[in-house]
Amino acid sequence: MSQNNIVNAERRGKRQVLIRPSSKVVIKVLSVMQKHGYIGEFEIIDDHRGGKVVIQLNGRLNKCGVISPRFNIAVDSIEQWVALLLPARSFGKIILTTSAGIMDHQEARNKHVGGKILAFVY
Protein backbone atom coordinates (compact mmCIF):
# COMPACT_ATOMS: atom_id res chain seq x y z
CA MET A 1 0.00 0.00 0.00
CA SER A 2 0.97 3.63 -0.28
CA GLN A 3 1.30 4.34 3.42
CA ASN A 4 5.07 4.71 3.19
CA ASN A 5 4.59 7.66 0.82
CA ILE A 6 2.27 9.30 3.36
CA VAL A 7 4.70 8.79 6.27
CA ASN A 8 7.68 10.05 4.25
CA ALA A 9 5.83 13.18 3.11
CA GLU A 10 4.66 13.79 6.69
CA ARG A 11 8.24 13.50 7.98
CA ARG A 12 9.48 15.97 5.37
CA GLY A 13 6.80 18.40 6.54
CA LYS A 14 4.89 18.42 3.25
CA ARG A 15 1.33 19.73 3.22
CA GLN A 16 0.02 17.24 0.64
CA VAL A 17 0.98 13.99 -1.03
CA LEU A 18 -0.10 12.23 -4.23
CA ILE A 19 -0.48 8.46 -4.15
CA ARG A 20 -1.26 6.13 -7.00
CA PRO A 21 -2.73 3.76 -7.95
CA SER A 22 -5.84 4.17 -5.84
CA SER A 23 -8.21 1.34 -5.01
CA LYS A 24 -11.37 0.84 -2.99
CA VAL A 25 -9.32 -0.55 -0.09
CA VAL A 26 -6.90 2.41 -0.11
CA ILE A 27 -9.82 4.87 -0.09
CA LYS A 28 -11.59 3.08 2.78
CA VAL A 29 -8.36 2.99 4.84
CA LEU A 30 -7.84 6.71 4.14
CA SER A 31 -11.39 7.49 5.24
CA VAL A 32 -10.80 5.67 8.57
CA MET A 33 -7.57 7.67 9.02
CA GLN A 34 -9.45 10.88 8.19
CA LYS A 35 -12.28 10.06 10.62
CA HIS A 36 -9.75 9.88 13.46
CA GLY A 37 -7.94 13.05 12.39
CA TYR A 38 -4.63 11.56 11.20
CA ILE A 39 -4.99 13.13 7.74
CA GLY A 40 -7.03 16.02 6.32
CA GLU A 41 -9.22 15.98 3.22
CA PHE A 42 -8.40 13.74 0.29
CA GLU A 43 -9.45 14.01 -3.34
CA ILE A 44 -9.80 11.10 -5.74
CA ILE A 45 -8.65 11.77 -9.31
CA ASP A 46 -9.89 9.30 -11.92
CA ASP A 47 -7.38 9.33 -14.78
CA HIS A 48 -8.78 6.13 -16.40
CA ARG A 49 -5.54 4.34 -15.50
CA GLY A 50 -5.13 3.30 -11.89
CA GLY A 51 -6.52 6.50 -10.41
CA LYS A 52 -4.75 8.88 -8.03
CA VAL A 53 -5.48 10.31 -4.60
CA VAL A 54 -4.26 13.71 -3.36
CA ILE A 55 -4.15 13.78 0.45
CA GLN A 56 -3.91 16.92 2.58
CA LEU A 57 -1.62 16.28 5.56
CA ASN A 58 -2.16 17.90 8.95
CA GLY A 59 1.01 16.90 10.83
CA ARG A 60 -0.72 14.54 13.27
CA LEU A 61 0.59 11.27 11.81
CA ASN A 62 3.60 9.62 13.45
CA LYS A 63 3.63 6.26 11.71
CA CYS A 64 1.37 4.07 9.67
CA GLY A 65 2.03 0.81 7.95
CA VAL A 66 0.54 -2.23 6.33
CA ILE A 67 0.41 -5.65 7.93
CA SER A 68 1.29 -8.35 5.44
CA PRO A 69 0.22 -11.14 5.43
CA ARG A 70 -3.31 -10.16 6.44
CA PHE A 71 -3.70 -12.17 9.63
CA ASN A 72 -7.14 -13.33 10.77
CA ILE A 73 -8.22 -11.80 14.07
CA ALA A 74 -11.00 -13.10 16.30
CA VAL A 75 -12.85 -10.53 18.43
CA ASP A 76 -11.26 -11.77 21.66
CA SER A 77 -7.71 -11.55 20.25
CA ILE A 78 -7.99 -7.90 19.11
CA GLU A 79 -6.44 -6.76 22.41
CA GLN A 80 -3.32 -8.89 21.89
CA TRP A 81 -2.74 -7.34 18.46
CA VAL A 82 -3.29 -3.84 19.87
CA ALA A 83 -0.61 -4.53 22.49
CA LEU A 84 1.71 -5.96 19.82
CA LEU A 85 1.39 -3.23 17.18
CA LEU A 86 0.62 0.04 18.95
CA PRO A 87 3.03 1.93 21.23
CA ALA A 88 0.55 2.69 24.04
CA ARG A 89 -2.81 1.48 25.27
CA SER A 90 -5.12 4.28 24.09
CA PHE A 91 -2.84 5.55 21.33
CA GLY A 92 -3.37 4.73 17.66
CA LYS A 93 -5.68 2.46 15.69
CA ILE A 94 -5.51 -0.91 13.99
CA ILE A 95 -7.52 -1.03 10.76
CA LEU A 96 -9.34 -4.28 10.01
CA THR A 97 -11.39 -5.55 7.12
CA THR A 98 -14.47 -7.31 8.45
CA SER A 99 -17.70 -8.68 7.06
CA ALA A 100 -19.22 -5.33 8.10
CA GLY A 101 -16.68 -3.30 6.09
CA ILE A 102 -13.29 -1.70 6.81
CA MET A 103 -13.10 -0.17 10.30
CA ASP A 104 -10.80 0.46 13.25
CA HIS A 105 -10.34 -2.07 16.06
CA GLN A 106 -12.60 -0.26 18.55
CA GLU A 107 -15.53 -0.15 16.15
CA ALA A 108 -14.98 -3.85 15.37
CA ARG A 109 -15.00 -4.67 19.08
CA ASN A 110 -18.20 -2.66 19.62
CA LYS A 111 -19.91 -4.42 16.70
CA HIS A 112 -18.45 -7.73 17.92
CA VAL A 113 -16.91 -8.72 14.58
CA GLY A 114 -13.49 -10.11 13.83
CA GLY A 115 -11.72 -9.96 10.49
CA LYS A 116 -8.37 -9.61 8.77
CA ILE A 117 -5.82 -7.05 9.86
CA LEU A 118 -4.94 -4.48 7.16
CA ALA A 119 -2.91 -1.67 8.69
CA PHE A 120 -2.00 0.31 11.79
CA VAL A 121 -1.79 4.05 12.33
CA TYR A 122 -0.62 6.29 15.20
Q: What confidence tens digit (pLDDT) does each residue in 30-47 have? A: 999 999 999 999 999 999
Do both 71 and 53 map to the same domain? no
* pTM of the shown model: 0.91
User: For position 53, which CATH number holds?
Assistant: 3.30.1370.30
Q: 90-111 burial by CB neighbour count: b if 16+ within 10 A, else e? A: eebbbbbbbeeebbbbebbbee
Give residue 1's pLDDT.
59
Do both 28 and 71 map to the same domain? no
Domain count, the chain: 2
Q: What confidence tens digit (pLDDT) does each residue in 66-98 have? A: 999 999 999 999 999 999 999 988 889 999 999
Do both 48 and 79 map to the same domain? no
Range of the domain at 77: 64-121
Residue 28 CB partners (closer than 8 Å, separation 6+)? 101, 102
Do both 50 and 75 map to the same domain? no
Q: What is the 3-state secondary structure (H, E, C) of 47-81?
A: CCCCCEEEEEECCCCCCEEECCCCCEECHHHHHHH
